[in-house]
Amino acid sequence: MAIRSMNIKDLQQVIVIEQSLFGTPWGYEDFLYELKVNPYGHLYVYELDGQIIGFIGMWFIYEDATITTLGVAKEFQRRGYAKELMDYAIKRSEEAGCEKCTLEVRVSNVPAIKLYESYGFKIVAIRKNYYTDTHEDAYLMLKGREDIGNDISD
Ligand SMILES: CC(C)(COP(=O)(O)OP(=O)(O)OC[C@H]1O[C@@H](n2cnc3c(N)ncnc32)[C@H](O)[C@@H]1OP(=O)(O)O)[C@@H](O)C(=O)NCCC(=O)NCCS
């Protein structure tokens, strides 16, 4: 297990992976914002023999966690690394007090949807036209208590 917090020195390798995986990749400034500015942002990398092979991003906002990004370099996929990243990040979110987790995923992204379903995430809404590159819809997926944040009576 070689998962740790991302730092600025990792960004060159992270961005190469990011660009190879996503149609609208985050750039250097986007990662930098999450690392240095956003107080809710948490980024972790998977480092294998000195090489970054994957990463996951989260927001921890009180009881709500959100997965903001997840990627494993193509040549390292289907070896369980995303699961290790998910295990690690979900554990960190629970330690931070989060009781539910959400994410958005392209409706066509079967590998990611299968992965999230295996963690108990369920599709709770469709966000139409969510992605600017292809205008594809997103599924909003949720794991955990659905009631948190809706009841302010007590
Ligand atoms: C989604 C992604 C992170 C999975 O990474 P990975 O390291 O290959 O995943 P793992 O090997 O840990 O697989 C975990 C589970 O995910 C699902 N899965 C992963 N790849 C899959 C595929 N090609 N087809 C179907 N299910 C798949 C399976 O349920 C798998 O469990 P199993 O091996 O027991 O069947 C990777 O495909 C990726 O980087 N994709 C591009 C970026 C992306 O779409 N990120 C998600 C944005 S919301």
Domain assignment present for 150: no
Closest atom of ligand 1 to CA, residue 86: 12
Four-CA torsion 27, 32, 35, 38, nearest 10 degrees: -100
Using the mean position of ligand 1's atoms as its centre, give its distance from the Cα of residue 30 in Å.
23
Output the pTM of the full model.
0.95
Catalytic residue among 63, 84, 104, 136: 104
Pairing outcome for strands 41-48 and 122-127: unpaired
Domain assignment present for 149: no
Query: Does ligand 1 lie within 6 Å of residue 79's CB atom?
Result: yes
Query: Does ligand 1 lie within 6 Å of residue 127's CB atom?
Result: no
CA distance 99 to 95: 10
Query: Does ligand 1 lie within 6 Å of residue 66's CB atom?
Result: no
Q: Which letter does DSSP use for residue 109 in this model?
A: -
Q: Could you read off the pLDDT of 101-141 as tens digits, one per residue?
A: 999 999 999 999 999 999 999 999 999 999 998 999 999 99
Domain assignment present for 139: yes
Q: Could you read off the pLDDT of 91-104 as tens digits, one per residue?
A: 999 999 999 999 99
What's the confidence (pLDDT) of residue 17?
98
Closest atom of ligand 1 to CA, residue 85: 12
Using the mean position of ligand 1's atoms as its centre, give its distance from the Cα of residue 113 in Å.
8
Beta carbons within 8 Å of 58's beta carbon, 6+ residues apart: 41, 42, 43, 44, 65, 66, 67, 68, 89, 92, 93
Mean residue pLDDT across the chain: 94
46 is catalytic: no
Kind plus residue range of the DSSP H or E element containing 30: helix 28-32
| CATH code, domain with 101 | 3.40.630.30
Task: List the domain range (segments joined by +) for residue 55.
Answer: 3-144
CA distance 132 to 119: 28
Domain count, the chain: 1
Catalytic residue among 18, 44, 46, 116: 116
47 is catalytic: no
CA distance 104 to 132: 14
